[in-house]
Amino acid sequence: MERDQLLREPKGGKMKDGPIRCILLSEFHVVAGSKISCQVPENFITKEIFDSIRTYIIPKPQLQRCILTINTLGHKVIGYPVRINHVRYQRNFFYFNLCFVFDSWSRTVQYEAVVKKLSEYLLMMEEEGSFLSNAENNSNISNLLACILRDLNQRQVATIVEGDTTIYLKIGRLKSDPPVVQDHQVPLLCRGFEDTDLDSWDLTTQQVLPFINGINHVARIAAEADVENQLVKSCIQNLVYYGVMQLLPLLKYSNVYMCTRELQKLTRDRSLADECRKYVQLQHAEKVDTTVRLPSLFNILQLYSQMTHGVTLRSLCQRLCPRDNNIDERKLVSFGLQHNLIRCINKYPIYTGSIPTPKHKLYTGLNSLDEICCKTGLSPSRIEQEIDMDSNVTVIWK
């Protein structure tokens, strides 16, 4: 067991998603005490291991109807102990706990709702027809747990039909927390949500969405929508969490962009290339005339490949004239950022003098030029001019 566990355990001891190794049902016997009445697969949890954790499997009444997680001896066990009080039982009560067993390194928070829902379902079955306490149902319980184990591991969903009752179980997808939304960031609706009816959103989102166009930054959206800034940030953060929106850097012609390795996808993925050509075109055939052609992939790749350190978007446009090739440079940058084909290289000023002014206190090397612009209300050209004239300020590009 120890050798198998080491082979399965990820490097660095980090937690990651793992399969359900076992489902067991434990009950409190009036003579034998806590025991395993059923487990799938059989004998996965040995008597020695169970005896070491039995106090937590059938705990004191104060811990009933609570999710409990036990991590010991190479296993992580999630349970939801339940006590039923009724005169039909030998001591006027019946204890049971349905547990899911995982490897000790597994992330299990996404299974907690499933364990609770399944336990409540078994509680209902027990109250209606003594489904758990009747020994004649042991084979049915074993088959039921085997089906749940198989379906949840293979498809992350399971359907239970017992008599006239049907219950659906689904393992929720675990997402990381969304990033903190900054004033200078530009929200953009993801593909497929552009034409969503406003009536389907909450009131705050309805006020904010008309001003989200891939160009306006968060502070400007809050001002134009006449909505409190923090409320707009919370709204956008929520939409980012659910994959409805993504955040892009503020588009400025003084920005410097750099292509990434992902740019190779444009030459290998035909559908992505066609999508890019349609997205970045300056004139749309259905709006101008039917003879307008899509931009060539060669011209698009030429613009992307010329994006590097020291080359601003303004100088790139002056040299290659993308609009002469029916390419909107703003859409070109937006598409590249959305698909990670390019990245924005930001300026981070650092004040090295001894007596800083209130503005100099922002020059810590942690605040980008975009953040400083939003906080001070000054234009990038104005701040850049002041930085160039101040010998105590050093700029880092990263």
Residue 6 lies in a domain: no
Q: How far apart, in whole angstroms, are the C-alpha atoms of residue 77 and residue 56?
A: 10
User: What's residue 223's pLDDT?
Assistant: 92
- 204 plus 335 within the same structural domain: no
CA-nearest of 192, 188, 199, 200 to 240 is 188
pLDDT along the chain (398 residues), means of 10: 42 72 89 85 90 88 88 92 88 90 90 92 87 85 91 91 82 79 89 75 87 89 92 91 88 90 92 92 60 86 92 93 92 92 92 87 88 84 88 88
Q: Which of 170, 195, 219 is the last residue of a domain?
A: 170
Q: Which of 249, 267, 297 is the last residue of a domain?
A: 249
CA-nearest of 171, 169, 149, 153 to 161 is 169
Neighbours of 1 (CB within 10 A): 11
Residue 151 lies in a domain: yes
Q: How far apart, in whole angstroms, are the C-alpha atoms of residue 85 and residue 301?
A: 72
User: What's residue 288's pLDDT?
Assistant: 45
- 123 plus 26 within the same structural domain: yes
Task: For residue 26, give the H/E element and its range.
Answer: strand 22-29
> Could you tell me the pTM of the whole model?
0.62
- 36 plus 124 within the same structural domain: yes
Q: Is 330 exposed, middle or buried (0-12, 13-18, 19+ CB in 10 A)?
A: middle
Pairing of strands 68-72, 393-397: unpaired
User: What's residue 211's pLDDT?
Assistant: 92
- 240 plus 295 within the same structural domain: no
User: What's residue 296's pLDDT?
Assistant: 92
Range of the domain at 380: 347-397
- 71 plus 156 within the same structural domain: yes
User: What's residue 264's pLDDT?
Assistant: 92
Q: Which of 301, 320, 345 is the last residue of a domain?
A: 345
Q: How many CA atoms lie within 13 A of 88 on its CB side?
A: 8
Residue 178 lies in a domain: no
Coil, helix or strand for 21? coil
Residue 176 lies in a domain: no
349 Cβ neighbours under 8 A, 6+ residues apart: 363, 365, 367, 369, 372, 387, 393, 394, 395, 396
pLDDT digits (tens, 9 = 90+) for 74-95: 899 999 999 988 888 888 888 9
- 273 plus 219 within the same structural domain: no
- 352 plus 272 within the same structural domain: no
**What single-letter DSSP state applies at residue 199?**
G
User: What's residue 149's pLDDT?
Assistant: 93
Domain count, the chain: 4
Tokens of 28: 């409190």
- 289 plus 354 within the same structural domain: no
- 242 plus 260 within the same structural domain: no
Residue 177 lies in a domain: no
Residue 60 lies in a domain: yes
Residue 296 lies in a domain: yes
- 161 plus 32 within the same structural domain: yes
User: What's residue 60's pLDDT?
Assistant: 85
- 26 plus 166 within the same structural domain: yes
Q: How far apart, in whole angstroms, are the C-alpha atoms of residue 332 and residue 296?
A: 13
Q: How far apart, in whole angstroms, are the C-alpha atoms of residue 161 and residue 130?
A: 17
- 356 plus 314 within the same structural domain: no
Residue 239 lies in a domain: yes
Q: How far apart, in whole angstroms, are the C-alpha atoms of residue 95 and residue 65?
A: 11
